[in-house]
Structure 1
Amino acid sequence: MTKSKKQKQKKKDFLKKKLKVGKPTGKPSNSTDTSFTARTLSVRSQLVNNAGDDLRKRLPLLKHHNDKVRKETLGIYIKAIPKIISTQLMTPLISQTSQLICDDSKDVREQLLELFDEVGKHDEQVLKLHCRSLVLYINMGMTHILPRVQADSTKFLGCLLKYCGQEFCDQAWNKLMAGIFRVLSWETQHSKNSNQAAGAMQTSKRDNKFQAAHLSTLYALLECGCKEPTVETTDEDTTSNIQNFEEVQYMTPSFPQAYGYLKLFDKQLKSSSSNKDNSSVSSSDALDVESRIRNVENVYLPTMKKQIEQIIQEGGEAGKNANNIKKLISEIFS
């Protein structure tokens, strides 16, 4: 091909075609014929069956740096709970959302509280299976450096006590009681350090508006841990229970981690002498109601009575909750 022919072909690309009236325009060279018809059209990336995969792909968004993205992702999971409650997606969902108990954003924490409540309404066994990690992050929230995270930690505890209160009391009774006392800035029999007392006086003025919520959570914890659960049984049930007592011992337990108190697979760290004074009763010694009542009487009851009387005199919503705790204490220790 000569040089003149190449130049002519290049010029054709830049020439403007003249349009004539009544004559159609010419089709371009790269046009596609779309005159065919099809009965079905399948697009693999838009199948309805891949809804679970889409939710699984959204899990990393729970760790996004933008708090609005984290809140919107939690809202999507709240709407999808009825569909995914019995799927394998719940395990990674609870394990990743439990970390948001210590989130800096208030909107994210409120959305997370709604998520836990929605999961508990549909299947409380899901929360019971993850109660160990939930207790860990609630305890972290109670000792958080940010006051607003500390204040909301008792809201999560109060919500989860409705669905897995017995498991919480069996596994971490001492930690939860000490955490609520720390949030309320109350001293126990074992905290006699003057620095702690000075810090408590400063935080008590700052957290007065959250005091009513903390007291209602304390009431729920005492009621769940120090009162025997009321179960209505008939005479036929009692006779059958006596006959099948030996069989029940060898059957699958009705609650998760039935032998967790034995700590067969837990690595325990050696505690120093200073830490021994702060916990008079270990978690394995607070598995039944009697031991928990004994623990409250020896460690928390004197301070509780003293502080409750002062709050009742101040009145308000906190005074009502304190009065309820006073009635509960008199009922337990009567």
Structure 2
Amino acid sequence: MGSKKKRAEKKKDFQKTKLRVGKTAARPDNYTDTSFTAKSISLPNQTIAKPKQGATTNNGGDVDLAHHLQLVKHHSASTRKEVLAFIEAHLPSNSASYKQILTVTLSLLTDQSESVRSAFVSLLSACADRQPGFLQLHMRSIVLFVHSAMSHIRGDVRATSTQALDILITKAASSLVSGFLVKTLRSFFSLLSWTLSDDKKAVSLAVNTTASLGGVTKKTRARHLAVLARLLQATLFVDDSEKSGTDWTRCSVVHPQTPQFMIPQNPQAFAQLKLFVEELPSQRASSGASGNGTYTLSDVDAVSTEDIETRRKVIEDVFLSPLRKNLVATSKDGGEVGAEASKCLQILDKFEGELKAQRAEE
């Protein structure tokens, strides 16, 4: 009898318990209940926990932004926007930190969210106000992303692309037009679906681009034209605020041509020489102009626009006729778009008037 009971108990260990619907499964014999909650003890003044990096400060009193810079790539658009706003409100006093901030956040210029792009533009403007020479120092990398936004496949990204360009024109126009004028004007023609030449292939490409990428609203188009007007003004005319405070022509001790041989104030002053750039040899002439001294569309990319005389000649030879043709057609649309196009035409008329006056004196 005893052996029969033992065999039944051993057999029970190898039998699977049948589960029934709505019934809680039986708990094992070695089950441990962990539903209890221990009482927490809070000692704020004696805590050894490491504080969040975003709330720490360095020796200079600036907020440590390392943690927030990591959140710039967050999947949530609202988080990215809040991080940019926090960085803008806690910009460091150390100029060495601005390069890291720009490197991490610059790609947000082509972000899918419009609020994130606007927050980055606000941050870029704040950095330029906080650190003099910031835009001039990083102009090459900023312009690269601006041109990418102006030719982006998404229409909403293209619509806000000129916001960052407007900051560059307002705060660092000299560095922009002296090194990146030609590519910026080409990007404007692509952004506004204009043609630089009259051949049928270019006209067909512009029509197909407008149809495939979708048209832009009148408000957006007017904003683009307003930025174009400021770009033309900075390109064709010398801003009085950028002139030197010293009139070298009136100095009797210093030679009048002394400032031409001084160390340049702008960064990368000799970038047009391309001393540290490897390029494939070009089939075109290295002079950048044709035999009669006139620039053409095919070789204008190799021209350095450091001085205003060269910029004026490039505009006159290559961009003046296409600009006038497209602006006249745009001005007929009326409204805010037509008004901004008329402002651009007034700048071109002023430029042509000065050219005629100079040639009449010669």
- CA gap of 1:204–1:332, structure 2 versus 1, over 3 A, is farther
Greater shift, 197-206 or 141-150, is seen at 197-206
The alignment partner of 2:75 has SS state of coil
Match of 1:207 in 2: 216
User: Deviation per CA, 1:92-116, whole angstroms, max 9, x where unpaired?
Assistant: 1012222111111101001011111
Q: Report the AA paired with residue 87 of structure 1.
A: S
Equivalent pair of 2:178/2:304 in contact (CA under 8 Å): no
Answering whether residue 183 of structure 2 is matched by residue 164 of structure 1, we say no
Answering whether residue 312 of structure 2 is matched by residue 293 of structure 1, we say yes
Q: Distance in 1 between matches of 2:114 and 2:157?
A: 8
Answering whether residue 243 of structure 2 is matched by residue 243 of structure 1, we say no
Q: Compute the displacement of 1:284 (Å).
A: 3.8
Equivalent pair of 1:95/1:130 in contact (CA under 8 Å): no
Greater shift, 109-118 or 193-202, is seen at 193-202
Equivalent pair of 2:155/2:214 in contact (CA under 8 Å): no
Q: Distance in 2 between matches of 1:250 and 1:151?
A: 42
Q: Report the AA paired with residue 196 of structure 1.
A: L
Q: What is the aligned counterpart of 1:141 among 135, 149, 170?
A: 149
Answering whether residue 300 of structure 2 is matched by residue 281 of structure 1, we say yes
Q: Compute the displacement of 1:323 (Å).
A: 1.3
Q: Distance in 2 between matches of 1:313 and 1:223?
A: 22
Equivalent pair of 1:226/1:293 in contact (CA under 8 Å): yes
Q: Distance in 1 between matches of 2:258 and 2:244?
A: 22
Greater shift, 63-72 or 262-271, is seen at 262-271
Give 1:63-142 correspondences, 5 Å limit: 63-81=73-91, 84-142=92-150
Q: Compute the displacement of 1:198 (Å).
A: 2.2
Q: Distance in 1 between matches of 2:309 and 2:247?
A: 26
CA RMSD, 1 decimal: 3.4
Q: Distance in 2 between matches of 1:306 and 1:284?
A: 24
Greater shift, 296-305 or 213-222, is seen at 296-305
Structure 1 runs of 4+ with >6 Å offset:
none
Q: Distance in 2 between matches of 1:54 and 1:77?
A: 10
Q: Compute the displacement of 1:237 (Å).
A: 7.4
User: Size of the alignment, in residue pairs?
Assistant: 298
Match of 1:24 in 2: none
Q: Distance in 2 between matches of 1:240 and 1:48?
A: 57
Greater shift, 162-171 or 299-308, is seen at 299-308
- Taking CA–CA contacts closer than 8 Å with sequence separation of 6 or more, which of the two structures ends up with the larger relative contact order? 1
Q: Compute the displacement of 1:260 (Å).
A: 1.3
Answering whether residue 271 of structure 2 is matched by residue 260 of structure 1, we say yes
Q: Distance in 1 between matches of 2:113 and 2:145?
A: 16
What's the TM-score, normalizing by structure 1?
0.77
Equivalent pair of 1:191/1:278 in contact (CA under 8 Å): no
Q: Distance in 1 between matches of 2:255 and 2:120?
A: 45
Q: Which segments of 5 or more consecutive residues in structure 2 lack a partner in the other structure? A: 1-38, 289-295, 354-362
Q: Compute the displacement of 1:196 (Å).
A: 0.8
Q: Report the AA paired with residue 74 of structure 1.
A: L
Match of 1:59 in 2: 69
Answering whether residue 238 of structure 2 is matched by residue 228 of structure 1, we say yes
Answering whether residue 329 of structure 2 is matched by residue 310 of structure 1, we say yes
Q: Distance in 2 between matches of 1:161 and 1:236?
A: 27
Q: Which segments of 5 or more consecutive residues in structure 1 lack a partner in the other structure? A: 1-30, 35-39
Q: What is the aligned counterpart of 2:182 among 174, 187, 192?
A: 174
Equivalent pair of 1:141/1:149 in contact (CA under 8 Å): yes
Match of 1:3 in 2: none
Give the percent of matched residue pairs that are identical in Structure 1 and Structure 2.
26
Q: Compute the displacement of 1:117 (Å).
A: 1.4
